[in-house]
Structure 1
Amino acid sequence: MKFSINREYILSALQQIYLVSKYNTSIPIIGNILITVLRNKSMFITGTDLETEITKKIKLISDVEPGNTTVSTKKILDIVKSFPKESSINFFLKNEKLFILCKKSKFVLCTLPYKNFPNLNNWEKKLKIRISKNKLKKLIESTYFSIANQDIRQYLNGMLLEIKKNNIRSVSTNGHRLSKSKIFIDKNISDAYIFIIPRSGVFNLLRILNQESDFVELVIGEKHIRINIEKYILTTKLLEGEFPEYKAIFKKNSFNVNILIVDCFMLKNTLKRVSVISDKSKCINLNLKKNLLIINIKNFNQELAEEYLEAEYLGKEMEISCNSDYILDALNTIESKRVKIFVTNSYSAIILADEIYNYTSHIIMPMRL
């Protein structure tokens, strides 16, 4: 195997793939990337953590010698980063060692057999669709922050996707908040496809969705999903388990509600200001009065912050305590100027939704003082 490449081209690929390729003492090859060079001057760089796999395709210009190898992701990334910008780097494989040459520098790295590199290629597709990249990005960004992290209930450590007819819905929850969002697609799907993408797959998907491309291709299998965008291919295993009945949860919290309508921008700024003195719990109090929202917070040192906001509200007076970060995350998904907040009583969850567009909404559980 032999090839030459500009530093910037390979560096951007290595930085993306490094996020999934982490060293594992029990399976050392997971800490390596797989490099494949073909006769047609195409090069593929692949990294995996056994759950998620990312491949970047690079078109080489110089002459090549085809071949395959695996090498430490961290070492090759650190080496490439150390070279001057826009420099040309030469790679060649000899006696199971990878030689890296740039100007007056020379590195020789150990490799592992490429045939031992695990891959997520052997599965059959059930559905293949092409959708707008910006729509998919918006769908993911509207709910990803509610995904649980290392919950004992594995199905909460991921995002539910539902593909039905001409729409795709994303749902996530950590047990303390629940977010859902929906986009419409051009294709009408006859069957329903419901699956859970793991947390790592969702976060890596968001990173590659920053590529300059108009469309994304989704390929869905029984236990895998693959996303093709520009020159990146992301493949991830799907989580098993039954996701909570989110529709019933929203329905339960939509009865006998009072509606507060407030300026979204002003509410966000107010929450950011008063949260300056908050403690780790991020607990904030919302006092609802006639056409008025009073936001206050008191920390363990008995320090106090309070602010008044004009609002539309004619319901009963009440005080609700919630996590301020959860509210801010939800507000960042609101597109209209004002946000609707549905409240039942001081001990029930609140629902945040766009005043005009009803495609995204969030449930936030109250905090007990």
Structure 2
Amino acid sequence: MRITLERSNLLKSLNHVHRVVERRNTIPILSNVLLKAEGNDLEMKATDLDLEITEKTASMVEQAGATTVPAHLLYEIVRKLADGAEVSLATATDGQTISVASGKSKFSLQCLPQEDFPDLTAGSFSHAFKLKASDLKMLIDRTQFAISTEETRYYLNGIYFHAMAEGKALKLRAVATDGHRLARAEIDAPSGCENMPGVIIPRKTVGELQKLLDDPEVIVAVEVSDAKIRFTIGSVVITSKLIDGTFPDYQRVIPANNDREMRIDCADFTKAVDRVSTVSSERGRAVKLSLAEGQLTLTVNNPDSGSATDELAVGYDSEPMDIGFNAKYLLDITGQLTGDEAVFLFADAGSPTLVRDTDSENALYVLMPMRV
């Protein structure tokens, strides 16, 4: 293999693919990125056996071929080369090493044979559809903060994507929950979603997708099977295994009869929660919301460091009530709201609270209360 390409193009593609590679691997080939030169392209592929990212970049191919090189090492070398430089990659005749040359800089890296590199993309996909990057990004951004990190409940370690009939309309929904809070976002289902199986996309895949959805106008092609999902975003292809588990019936925890409504300025509320939670401890991040007609009092009591209170004017005309929440969870939810006002719908101090965004009907949040 012998090719030449722009350093900026090589770095951009390596930046996308090398993140998948775990820094510590018991299987040496998984530390490597597969380089495959043919036609006018260099194809790069990296995998951790659960997630695979492939990207093609334009290059001058003098001699076609393929090999694998240490991903993080190659990325660091290319990152430190001069801006605007051209990079030449050439494998030795014995295939044991590859030279990386740019200007007067030259490196020789150990290779492993491409035949050893695993292929995650085998198999067919039963459903395919397309959507705008901005829609996929909205579904992910509004829900990913609620993904559980508790490994024993592995079926909650991702976002649940599924098509759901709502009246005569079909919606594509994303749902995440960790048992303490739940986030749901939806868009009108694109053509091809009909009868799609509900799938749980792992947290790592969600994180990589977020970094790639930077151009809102790009059309993303999505392919789904029972075990895998594939996203094609421009020249980047992400293939991921799905979480093999059953997502809980989240509809049961979304309250339908919460009739105590509080309307509050979202920015003011966020700042007030942040202020009073300054004195809270890491273990007990509870903030008490005391509601009376037209007024909300926020209180935090920490036996070790002191207490704090704050008052805000709110739109509330139901019975007075006190309810407690984890301050971090409150801030996570208000951080997703795009409207000026937040709408809280309460039942009582021991029941889940519903939070809606005045600016968007496409997202809702459920928050479990805490004892205060």
Normalising by the residue count of structure 2, what TM-score does the alignment of the two structures yield? 0.93
Contact 2:37–2:61 under 8 Å retained in 1: no
Contact 2:148–2:177 under 8 Å retained in 1: yes
Alignment of 1:276-355 (within 5 A): 276-281=278-283, 282-355=285-358
Deviation at 1:76, TM superposition (A): 0.6
Contact 2:97–2:108 under 8 Å retained in 1: yes
Aligned to 1:358: 361
> Are 1:14 and 2:17 counterparts?
no
CA distance in 2, matches of 1:99, 1:254: 64
Structure 2 gap ranges (5+): none
Deviation at 1:13, TM superposition (A): 1.6
CA distance in 2, matches of 1:347, 1:303: 26
Contact 1:23–1:30 under 8 Å retained in 2: no
Deviations 1:97-150 (A, max 9, x none): 011111222111111111111121111111111111101101110001100114
Structure 1 gap ranges (5+): none
Deviations 1:288-329 (A, max 9, x none): 111111112233433222211111112222222212221122
Worse-matched range after superposition: 232-241 or 261-270:
261-270
Aligned amino acid, residue 44 of structure 2 = I
Deviations 1:166-189 (A, max 9, x none): 421000011111111101144264
Alignment of 1:157-236 (within 5 A): 157-164=157-164, 166-187=170-191, 189-211=193-215, 213-236=217-240
Q: 1:82 to 1:182 in 2, by over 3 A?
A: same
Contact 2:41–2:61 under 8 Å retained in 1: no
Alignment of 1:253-264 (within 5 A): 253-264=255-266
Partner of 2:273, secondary structure, is helix
> Are 1:29 and 2:11 counterparts?
no
CA distance in 2, matches of 1:256, 1:143: 22
> Are 1:90 and 2:88 counterparts?
yes
Deviation at 1:275, TM superposition (A): 2.8
Aligned amino acid, residue 59 of structure 1 = A
CA distance in 1, matches of 2:150, 2:237: 26
> Are 1:49 and 2:48 counterparts?
yes
Alignment of 1:136-151 (within 5 A): 136-151=136-151
Aligned to 1:125: 125
Worse-matched range after superposition: 288-297 or 348-357:
348-357
Partner of 1:46, secondary structure, is strand
CA distance in 1, matches of 2:182, 2:231: 25
Aligned amino acid, residue 301 of structure 2 = K
Aligned amino acid, residue 46 of structure 2 = G
CA distance in 2, matches of 1:164, 1:345: 29
Deviations 1:261-289 (A, max 9, x none): 11112112222233333321432221111
Aligned amino acid, residue 368 of structure 1 = R
CA distance in 2, matches of 1:290, 1:362: 24
CA distance in 2, matches of 1:188, 1:224: 16
Q: 1:159 to 1:189 in 2, by over 3 A?
A: closer
Aligned to 1:2: 2
Alpha-carbon RMSD: 1.8
Deviation at 1:353, TM superposition (A): 0.9
CA distance in 2, matches of 1:153, 1:363: 19
Partner of 1:68, secondary structure, is strand
Partner of 1:294, secondary structure, is strand
User: How many correspondences in the alignment?
Assistant: 365
Contact 1:223–1:238 under 8 Å retained in 2: yes
Contact 1:24–1:30 under 8 Å retained in 2: no
Aligned amino acid, residue 211 of structure 2 = R
CA distance in 1, matches of 2:190, 2:108: 51
Q: 1:256 to 1:12 in 2, by over 3 A?
A: closer
Worse-matched range after superposition: 50-59 or 326-335:
326-335
Q: 1:4 to 1:333 in 2, by over 3 A?
A: same
CA distance in 2, matches of 1:294, 1:212: 40
State the identity %: 27
Contact 1:219–1:225 under 8 Å retained in 2: yes
Deviation at 1:37, TM superposition (A): 0.6
CA distance in 1, matches of 2:138, 2:194: 24
CA distance in 2, matches of 1:4, 1:213: 31
CA distance in 2, matches of 1:86, 1:219: 37
CA distance in 2, matches of 1:67, 1:300: 67
Deviation at 1:164, TM superposition (A): 4.1
Normalising by the residue count of structure 1, what TM-score does the alignment of the two structures yield? 0.94
Partner of 2:155, secondary structure, is helix
Contact 2:5–2:58 under 8 Å retained in 1: no
CA distance in 1, matches of 2:277, 2:10: 42
Aligned to 1:271: 273
Q: 1:97 to 1:300 in 2, by over 3 A?
A: farther
Aligned amino acid, residue 197 of structure 2 = Y
